[in-house]
Amino acid sequence: MTNSANNLHLFPYDSSLSKTDPLYYESLARKHGYQWIAGVDEAGRGPLAGPVVAAAVIIPEGALLQGVKDSKKMTEKAREKAFEEIHKIAVAVGVGVISHRAIDQMNILNATLTAMKQAVVSLDPLPDHVFVDGIHEIPISIPQKCLIKGDQICKSISAASIIAKVYRDRIMSSYHDRFPEYGFLHHKGYGTAQHRSVIAFLGPSPVHRLTFKGVKGLDTGKN
């Protein structure tokens, strides 16, 4: 597991390409011989409940995907629309899901990287280069490059951020149907004041992360 400070550049930045180009990183990789380039991102590292979900997306060369950007800067309606559009246009889309129980067992960082690996290896075709949001490499042998704030500067990662976010939101909405008293439909498991107050009153639900601050020590025997 390597952080960005130790990552070596797989190829140098290219002054012949414009960094304002929304496909700069994909173009850079293709210029150096890579064909199937995937962006990878996750949703759900911070919540107190539910899974962490990762997505990997290979977009066709030249596909601008207008309206696709960092999922955190989009409305729910815009994300849902982009989710459908990405599935129509993408060469391949992969998703990895790690449950709340597995998160408690392996910690959230390892769970996130495992979900990312699942998403990448499920792609068909398998990518020959991967751009990863953040500073931690995925435990795979495929060449990869970590990009800080990658969901803002790399179109493939932006697409992956949308897939992961919408997929996870749908999971949390399904949990709301089972445990409506916790309000998962509204906060998606994040630690809002209202969510924390319900946990303090009722104890954690069967889908809460029992090792997370705000949940730990509040188990009432419901799990």
Quote the pLDDT of residue 9: 56
Checking if the pLDDT of 219 tops 60, the result is: no
**pLDDT, mean of residues 28-45:** 96
**pLDDT, mean of residues 58-77:** 90
Checking if the pLDDT of 6 tops 60, the result is: no
**pLDDT, mean of residues 115-131:** 98
Cβ–Cβ < 8 Å for 38, 127:
yes
Quote the pLDDT of residue 109: 98
**Tens of pLDDT, residues 140-181:** 999 999 999 999 999 999 999 999 999 999 999 999 999 999
Residue spans of beta strands (DSSP E) within the chain:
37-43, 52-58, 92-98, 129-133, 144-147
Quote the pLDDT of residue 62: 85
Q: Structural domain boundaries of the chain?
A: 15-177
- Write down the mean pLDDT value for the chain: 90
**Tens of pLDDT, residues 82-120:** 999 999 999 999 999 999 999 999 999 999 999 999 999
Does residue 127 have a cis peptide bond before it, meaning omega lies within 30 degrees of 0? no
CA-based nearest residue to 155, from 12, 33, 38, 13: 38
Cα separation, 201 vs 196, in Å, equals 9
Checking if the pLDDT of 27 tops 70, the result is: yes
Of 95 and 5, which is predicted with more confidence?
A: 95
Contacts of 88 (CB under 8 A, 6+ apart): none
For domain 15-177, the question of CATH label 3.30.420.10 is answered with: yes
| Beta-bridge partner residues of 40 | 56, 132
CA 8 to chain centre: 23
